[in-house]
Structure 1
Amino acid sequence: MKVNLMFLLLACAGAQAHDGTVNVSGTIQDNTCIVAPSSQAQTVPLGDISAKQFATQGSGSQPVAFVIDLQKCGAAATGVDFTFSGTADSDDKTLLAVDSGSDAAQGIGIELQNADHTRLPLNQASARYALDPTLTDNQFTFYARYIATANSVTSGTAKATATFTLTWQ
């Protein structure tokens, strides 16, 4: 009888069920910004420069600043990487190639630089730039300049197009 009572007690203990609740909560925040209209399609005027200024490979023109303005950053936006893309120069793949054509300059490429005038290699992500979502505008200054890719530069048209891609953190 004791054995039967034991089995009965064990059977009752295992048959009890408990219901529980798991509550999950959180917030989905935006971690991107809007590229200001003034930054979406820019022309950076590098000027008319004598081919003689580029006496040797690696010599360059004065850098010209341009700004990429990011607006309305989400509350979770903390950083952004910039990647400039385009056709790479055949002599130096880190430079942007000038557009080809019968009147195109030869022996010259376009160097993109960060605010510290350090080269930003084409088609490679930059170092991370900090974003402040409390600011109306987060402005980032970059530079472009001509740089000789050969010891002899031939005069002509020297223009190119680069696009930029943003990677948010």
Structure 2
Amino acid sequence: MNSRATAIALTAAALLALTACSSSDDDAAPASDSGTPVAEPTVSVPAAHENDDLRAAIAVYTASYFSGDADTAYGMLSERCQGTTTPASYKAVVTKAASDYGPDHQATDVRAKVSGARAQVSYKVSGLPKYDQRDQPWTLEGDTWRYDAC
């Protein structure tokens, strides 16, 4: 794994650790700058995979895609999607996205409908509304959520 993929994976792990350590004493929704409560994004996962983090997978995929980390982004494609493109072809797409838009585009407002090992995910891409997603397919392969929109 290259250093960029390692950094992305470590960032995702740190975010997971922070969310796991959140206090249950704070039942109120966080307030926006105007003092109005802000709804937290929700992600549902099958009971057998309660500890899997679909949001983390989406965050890593989005970060690797826009940073030009083709190895990580391609590795997050479902087996079915990997069968539709070569690593070299996918690298060209990811390299162009990184060149055109740069790396600072996180997935936000993630919402998912999960049924078994399939998920339909909607999210926004910060700074790039044309890349916002609605009902994007993801699939659980083994214990890993994979991008399945090919």
Question: Under a length normalisation based on structure 1, what TM-score does the superposition of the two structures give?
Answer: 0.23
Greater CA radius of gyration, 1 or 2? 1
Structure with more of its chain in strand, by fraction:
1
The structure with higher relative contact order (CA 8 Å, sep 6+) is 1
Structure with more of its chain in helix, by fraction:
2
Question: Under a length normalisation based on structure 2, what TM-score does the superposition of the two structures give?
Answer: 0.24
